[in-house]
Structure 1
Amino acid sequence: MSRSRQPPLVTGISPKEGTAWTKVTIRGENLGTGPADLVGLSICGHNCMLTAEWMSASKIVCRVGPAKDDKGEIIVTTKSGGLGTSTVSFKLLRPDRIGILEQSAVWVDEINYDMRRDRNKGLSPLSLGPSNPLGIEIDKGNIPQKDLELVFPGMSGDFTSENFAATCYLIENHAGSRSCHYRLFLHRTARCV
């Protein structure tokens, strides 16, 4: 007659805290006899089986999901040992959300911004756009505006516009580079097919 195995026991987790999708290493005893023996894994009440990698009877690696609880146990369940217990817990860190009306600190590199000299006029923060956000030489090229409007109807290369398109910006400001000509050709070809 075969003896039943001991239930899983989680004795360590590294790191002990982190945000959702943090990769963690779980250590313990009787954590299964193989990948097929592992039938359940939860951290702070969140099922982590989809990301679980069974490494050995004493080690499992997984990612912590967006758990309901801020702090909780690590529970391992195996076919051979059943529902386990844990002597350690994991703390889920929730990122601070900054709302539209909340203050936040922003570092502005004033060297790269076009600061207007007329201090009497009110300026919106969006008007203080970087003169060269990519930090590479501006090369306007020779692509006519009507061609851009034909290929990208209603789109703009102005990063403060509601209709901003990165492709338009690159073509308007860096059209001299070979890759921009190639991308415009591909986009034009795709629209004709």
Structure 2
Amino acid sequence: MSRSRQPPLVTGISPNEGIPWTKVTIRGENLGTGPTDLIGLAICGHNCLLTAEWMSASKIVCRVGQAKNDKGDIIVTTKSGGKGTSTVSFKLLKPEKIGILDQSAVWVDEMNYYDMRTDRNKGIPPLSLRPANPLGIEIEKIGK
């Protein structure tokens, strides 16, 4: 006789709140026997299975997506144990909207820039190797 496994039980999530696409670590018991055993993962009613990374039977890492509910359970489903339950919940925060007068930060990938320390004596002007448009902003030319 084969012994059936217990259903998954989520006992912790870190962080327990965040905006959409926040990376979260889910902890619990019986979260699957391997990556292929994990067949469902929902946070606040949103299917997170595509971003799920099974680490062990007690840990899964994933990203929270756009959810319908702003607070909800974490439900894990496995082939071996079926649909699980959760003793914790996740609170989905609404991202701040940035208007034209609000300050914001922009990430520029510095790896594409010229490193002046290593090529200083090669006779190549540093500006010639810098990207012309590092932010990728298209500017329309008027009067073409």
Partner of 1:9: 9
Larger relative CO (CA 8 A, sep 6+): 1 or 2?
2
Report Cα offsets for 1:111-167 as digits up to 9, x if no partner.
Answer: xxxxxxxxxxxxxxxxxxxxxxxxxxxxxxxxxxxxxxxxxxxxxxxxxxxxxxxxx
Letter matched to residue 74 of structure 1:
I
Partner of 2:135: none
Take 2:68 and 2:31, find their aligned partners in 1: how far apart are those partners?
24
SS at match of 2:20: coil
Partner of 1:178: 128
Partner of 1:21: 21
Take 1:14 and 1:177, find their aligned partners in 2: how far apart are those partners?
44
SS at match of 1:91: strand
Partner of 1:88: 88
Equivalent residue runs for 1:142-161 within 5 Å: none
Partner of 2:61: 61
Take 1:12 and 1:66, find their aligned partners in 2: how far apart are those partners?
21
Structure 1, gaps ≥5 residues long: 108-175, 184-193
TM-score norm. by structure 2 comes to: 0.70
Take 1:48 and 1:37, find their aligned partners in 2: how far apart are those partners?
15
Structure 2, gaps ≥5 residues long: 105-125, 133-144
Take 1:70 and 1:81, find their aligned partners in 2: how far apart are those partners?
28
Equivalent residue runs for 1:159-170 within 5 Å: none
CA-CA distance at 1:3 after TM superposition? 1.3
Partner of 2:137: none
What is the total number of aligned residue pairs between the two structures? 112
SS at match of 2:96: coil
Report which of the two has the higher share of strand.
2
**Is the alpha carbon distance of 1:96 and 1:177 closer, same or farther for their aligned partners in structure 2, counting shifts above 3 Å?**
closer
Take 1:34 and 1:56, find their aligned partners in 2: how far apart are those partners?
7
Report which of the two has the higher share of helix.
1
TM-score norm. by structure 1 comes to: 0.53
Partner of 2:30: 30
**Is the alpha carbon distance of 1:106 and 1:25 closer, same or farther for their aligned partners in structure 2, counting shifts above 3 Å?**
closer
**Is the alpha carbon distance of 1:55 and 1:106 closer, same or farther for their aligned partners in structure 2, counting shifts above 3 Å?**
closer
Give the % identical residues: 77
User: Does structure 1 retain, via aligned residues, the 8 Å contact 2:20–2:95?
Assistant: no
Take 1:177 and 1:94, find their aligned partners in 2: how far apart are those partners?
41
SS at match of 1:34: coil
Runs of 4+ in 1 over 6 A off after TM superposition: none
Q: Give the aligned CA root-mean-square deviation in angstroms.
A: 2.4
